[in-house]
Structure formats: C-alpha cells, structure tokens
Structure 1
C-alpha cells in the first residue's frame, strides 16, 4: 500500500493506494522506460533566483575571459538590479575555483580558468 498525505491548496489530503506485486512491477518498468540506465533520479525543485544569477555571472566572466573588478561589479549590479547583490556575486566569484583573481595595479583582474 502507498499512502500520500499533504494538502491541495487549503484542503487536507490523505490518500491510500493499494498495489499488488504486478502493479509495482508495472510501475517500475514504466519508470525504467522514462529514466535512462544509470541516470540518477533527481527530485524536482523550484528554480532559485540566486542560482540563476550565479550561473549567469559565471557565464558572463567565462565569455569575457577577463574583466577588471569595477567592470565586473558594474555588470553584476546591472544583472541583479542592486549593488549589494552584485557585490555578493563578486565575492562568490572571487572564491570560486573557476576564477583566478590577480591583484595587480589599481584594481583586481578576474580571469576565468574554468
């Protein structure tokens, strides 16, 4: 037996489904047909705006190859719409293994090393 409890909107749900061995085998066969062999099953999760911005920030620096700190910060602020969010992404890039920061001259240089 499979029991599902939760809510749909504000309505409580308590659903019990009885399945025999044939039902379980059929369900398993359908899941194998959907999932390629050896591929992990990933749970669906909502898209986090911070993750999206992080991916865009990484791609921005990767495409540029190298940017000065002020130029990169300006672009990140434009991406996020806020100075504090842009600075957070800049710090995250600074500590990323995919980015090399050279502290030469007046401003740091951020380089993509991927």
Structure 2
C-alpha cells in the first residue's frame, strides 16, 4: 500500500493506493535499483489482510446494523490501531455487501449479505 499526501493547487490530497504482487513487480522492474532490494509488503501482508477483512465482514454480518463510532472502536481493537480501522471503514463503504446510511448522529453500516 502506498499513501500519497499533499496538495494539488489549494486542494488537499490524501490518497491510498493498493498494489497487488503483479503491480509491485512491474514497479520494481522500472526502478533503477535491483528488484531483490525492494521489499514487497503486499505479499507478506496479504494473508493477514484477508483474515482481517473477513473478520470485519463477519463483525458487521453478526451485528446486522452497527453505528460508525461503535464499529470504529471494535475495528480499532481488531486491527490493532486507528489507521488500520479507518482503512477498513473506507473499504466497507465500497463493499457491495454493506449499505451505509448517513444519519444526523453517525453513519450506520447495514449488512446486505451476498
């Protein structure tokens, strides 16, 4: 995963790009250093990330519906940190199995299933 932060003109930019093993290989092939010198965190983190994602989906599935702050607290403990929990929340927002309802107090994450 690569995080890019900065500005484009007056607009703030905070972008996270996920690369798979093939993308890392392509990037490594085009750098002026040897590919062996580049670590590929995607391949070493993939099993952990997949298990964490499945646990996240299971958590929402079991709850049926859960408010954002409560989900954030549970994901922070599950993922081991606030940044990882926020990334999971973003991923949930784009998941076809989840519907996010915006309410006056907090977003509510609803399990839609398959």
Same fold by TM (over 0.5)?
Answer: yes
Structural mapping, 1:37-48, within 5 Å: 48=47
SS across alignment from 2:96: coil
Q: TM-score under structure 2 normalisation?
A: 0.58
Q: Which structure is larger by alpha-carbon Rg, 1 or 2? A: 1
SS across alignment from 2:102: strand
Alpha-carbon displacement from aligned partner over 1:8-58 (angstroms, at most 9, x marks no partner): xxxxxxxxxxxxxxxxxxxxxxxxxxxxxxxxxxxxx98610110000000
Q: Which runs of 5+ in 2 are unaligned?
A: 1-42
Deviation at 1:61? Answer: 0.3
Alignment root-mean-square deviation, CA: 1.5
SS across alignment from 1:104: coil
Distance 1:91 1:68 in 2: 14
Distance 2:104 2:65 in 1: 15
Larger proportion of helix: 2
Which residue is equivalent to 2:59?
Answer: 60
Distance 1:80 1:66 in 2: 20
Q: Could you list the structure 1 runs, at least 4 aligned residues long, displaced by more than 4 angstroms after superposition.
A: none
Distance 2:50 2:81 in 1: 16
Q: TM-score under structure 1 normalisation?
A: 0.58
Deviation at 1:63? Answer: 0.3
Deviation at 1:106? Answer: 1.3
Distance 1:80 1:97 in 2: 21
Distance 2:89 2:75 in 1: 7
Q: Which runs of 5+ in 1 are unaligned?
A: 1-44
